[in-house]
Structure 1
Amino acid sequence: MRKIKAIEHVWNGGHSEHALSAIGRRRRIPPGRRMFYSFAMTAPDDSPATIVPQGPPINDTQQRILAAAVVCVRQWGIEKTNLNDIAKQAGVTRPTVYRYFASRDDILSAALMQSAVSLGQRLLARVETFDDPAQRLVEAVHFALTAMPGEPYLGVILQTDLSAFVSHGAMMNEQGWALSTDLIRQILRGVEMSAAELADVTETVIRMVLSLLLMSGPSERDGAELRRYLTRVLVPMAGLRPGA
């Protein structure tokens, strides 16, 4: 079986190094703020994997802060949400928030990454029974499109002005990009592909998922119709052929 060339992604003393595509330099998260972002894939390139979050477990106070941030964004939008609002909603003081997070955006990034890791774990379990990489990609995107609206934190992007924040985080935030790329690498296991090609496919999939979630089209697709659409449009864009 041909193996995909793994993207360089090494965790070393709190620092992450990985190949970056041409879409821009990704924002590095300070080592002291990585506890919600770090993760590892537990299988080699040619077998199914599980995403395992790394770092200290989230305590009850931190979880309340994450949930409070999403509640505030739902109510007032991202631009009108500040740390005072989040602290009040969480029932903690502002200094308590700063003990764990540097900013409002830090809190939102942590909440979205937590939800994304959970979604990614279920997504990989859903597609691992398919032998064809093209079919795995179609099923993965279909699963993401149907599951994201129900995610406790990711689902907020459909109701607020958070969509730009999410798209930036998925492609420009270092840990968000690494998670997205590792998911695509596992979905396309067995496909020979350079790191640059993998980055291109990852970017294409992210843009496709966000556009289908956020933009209305001339027709509504679900189930078999959505799978046929993804097979016709996304699979060739990713450089794949069904059953190849």
Structure 2
Amino acid sequence: MRSRGWAGSTPSSDEEAISRILTAVDEEIAEHGAALRLADVARRLGVTRQTVYRYFPNADALLIASAMRAVNGFIDQVVDHAGGLTDPVTAVIESVSFGVERLSGDPQLEKLLARRDDGEAATSLTSDTAIAFCLSVFHRLDVDWTLHGIDDTVLRELAEMTLRTVQSMLTDPGEVPRRGLALRGFVARWLGPAILYPRWASLSIQGRVSDDVDQVKQGGQ
């Protein structure tokens, strides 16, 4: 674990360091609002800015991580809600739909995702920090990703696509926001095939190889 300072109480792990950083972020937001400065977080923790940078690249990443942790134990809620679902499509669709329903209307997250008054681009949910949070959800689901042809690289891409879907539906829910079965059906129709693609592609390649082998055998007879 990389750390220094910590006001004489060094964290015992990276997980503890991240937790303490996010707690400091929550305290800063409670006292001073969302105009967060990384230097203020570091000062509250008794560490240098470089120490915080090792875990979070900028203030936006801190705010996103804090928001995702703060929504009533959001990650634990998602994992509990999707518990027992072993099919990757069903598990991801339910996680996305549940997330959209629970995150809609959260003032801290809405402020992060809204375009700034000065014209600056809205904060993206596809930062490395946000993807790491999404992957932590995926790894806690009851899905055997390898069995379904989804390796670490593909799983990271799926996390990014999942977050893009969530961000889009939060920032522009449509004239009539979807809920319940309508939301799940919509997400399943368009995100479901993307989740199935790695296994379909793997089976397709195996089928072509098998056909080539059969043709070679027939040609040798």
TM-score, normalised relative to structure 2: 0.61
Structure with more helix by fraction: 2
Query: CA offsets per residue over residues 174-231 of structure 1, 9 Å max, x none?
Result: x433222232233372132211211221111111111111125465311110011111
* Superposed CA RMSD: 4.0
Q: Which has the higher contact order (CA 8 A, sep 6+)?
A: 1
Structure 1's 68 and 131: CA in aligned 2 closer, same or farther, altered over 3 A?
Answer: same
Q: Which of 148, 161, 171 in structure 1 is aligned with 2:103?
A: 148
Could you say which residue in structure 2 is the equivalent of 1:127? 82
Secondary structure of 2:178's aligned partner: coil
Could you say which residue in structure 2 is the equivalent of 1:157? 112
Aligned residue runs from structure 1 range 55-134, under 5 A: 55=17, 57=20, 63-68=26-31, 71-73=33-35, 96=43, 99=46, 102=49, 106-117=58-69, 118-134=73-89
Mean alpha-carbon deviation: is it higher for 197-206 or for 125-134? 125-134
What amino acid does structure 2 have at the position aligned with 1:116? M
Structure with more strand by fraction: 1
What amino acid does structure 2 have at the position aligned with 1:133? P
Secondary structure of 2:104's aligned partner: helix
Could you say which residue in structure 2 is the equivalent of 1:215? 172
Contact 2:93–2:192, Cα closer than 8 Å, also in 1: yes
What amino acid does structure 2 have at the position aligned with 1:202? A
Could you say which residue in structure 2 is the equivalent of 1:239? 196
- Cα distance in 2 for partners of 1:156, 1:111 equals 10
- Cα distance in 2 for partners of 1:58, 1:229 equals 37
Contact 1:66–1:108, Cα closer than 8 Å, also in 2: no
Contact 2:75–2:137, Cα closer than 8 Å, also in 1: yes
Could you say which residue in structure 2 is the equivalent of 1:137? 92
Query: CA offsets per residue over residues 39-88 of structure 1, 9 Å max, x none?
Result: 4xxxxxxxxxxxxxx2364698654213345x345xxxxxxx7689xx7x
Structure 1's 110 and 67: CA in aligned 2 closer, same or farther, altered over 3 A?
Answer: farther
Structure 1's 189 and 99: CA in aligned 2 closer, same or farther, altered over 3 A?
Answer: same
**How far 1:235 moved relative to its partner?**
0.9
Secondary structure of 1:190's aligned partner: coil
What amino acid does structure 1 have at the position aligned with 2:184? R
Aligned length: 177
Secondary structure of 1:239's aligned partner: helix
- Cα distance in 2 for partners of 1:95, 1:180 equals 25
**How far 1:150 moved relative to its partner?**
4.6
Contact 1:137–1:188, Cα closer than 8 Å, also in 2: no
Contact 2:38–2:58, Cα closer than 8 Å, also in 1: no
**How far 1:108 moved relative to its partner?**
4.5
Contact 2:89–2:192, Cα closer than 8 Å, also in 1: yes
Structure 1's 146 and 100: CA in aligned 2 closer, same or farther, altered over 3 A?
Answer: farther
Query: CA offsets per residue over residues 133-159 of structure 1, 9 Å max, x none?
Result: 322111100111111235463343355
Query: CA offsets per residue over residues 78-109 of structure 1, 9 Å max, x none?
Result: xxx7689xx7xxxxxx9945845739x84543
